């Protein structure tokens, strides 16, 4: 079994996330992609993020009907910061013999050596680095500079298709009263509106 693990805040999930997951699923012939919303990302301890259950509900709406996509709640149930190495270790035990692929963006790879146990992460799963659309193809020399030659040898790089979208852009659009149409699935757009997410608070 070949499993992709895609972690993040997903605040909110958008088509950029979904395109990355589908690109990896197709090109790597993954049997499933597990979306793992973080409870408390270590690099965002001082950032305000939406409740984990809300973010997981939006993910569930976004991937509904696609059996290869699974929303994995394990980090939301775990106390304390969400560390990738712990999640990969748990999944490796849960699915013995499975080939694990950890999906991440090139921007995250720059800080990879500051993560908890980066060497162990690279041994638990093949790192799959997806470059943002519109940027030049990521060169092996650049990857080696970021993570060192040993870890770089265990990294696959994929070029992302589609458009460049970010969660912060969507949150800003809601605060400014602008539309989310065609940036995220309709069900997620409706959920954001109905639950009053990301609205500008009164001073």
Instruction: Report domain extents, the chain.
Output: 2-164
Burial (CB count <10 Å: 0-12, 13-18, 19+), residue 164: exposed
What is the CB neighbour count within 10 angstroms for residue 103?
29
pTM metric for this prediction: 0.87
CATH 2.60.40.10 is the classification of domain 2-164: no
Q: How far apart are the first and last CA of the chain?
A: 52
Percent of the chain with pLDDT over 90: 74
Confidence bin at 200 (pLDDT 50/70/90): confident
């Amino acid at each position: 079994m070949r499993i992709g693990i895609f972690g993040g805040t997903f605040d909110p999930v958008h088509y950029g996330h979904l395109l990355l997951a589908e690109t990896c699923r197709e090109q790597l012939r993954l049997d499933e992609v597990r979306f793992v919303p973080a409870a408390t990302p270590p690099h965002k301890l001082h950032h305000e993020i939406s409740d984990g259950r809300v973010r997981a509900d939006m993910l569930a709406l976004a991937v509904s009907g696609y059996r290869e996509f699974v929303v994995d709640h394990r980090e939301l149930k775990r106390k304390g910061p969400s560390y990738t190495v712990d999640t990969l270790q748990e999944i490796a035990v849960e699915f013995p013999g499975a080939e694990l692929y950890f999906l991440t963006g090139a921007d995250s790879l720059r800080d990879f050596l500051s993560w908890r146990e980066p060497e162990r992460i690279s041994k638990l799963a093949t790192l799959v680095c997806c470059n943002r659309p519109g940027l030049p193809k990521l060169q092996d020399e650049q990857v080696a500079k970021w993570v060192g030659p040993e870890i770089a040898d265990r990294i696959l790089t994929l070029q992302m298709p589609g458009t460049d979208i970010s969660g912060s852009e969507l949150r800003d659009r809601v605060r400014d009263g602008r539309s989310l149409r065609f940036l995220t699935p309709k069900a997620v757009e409706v959920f954001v509106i109905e639950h009053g997410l990301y609205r500008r608070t009164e001073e």
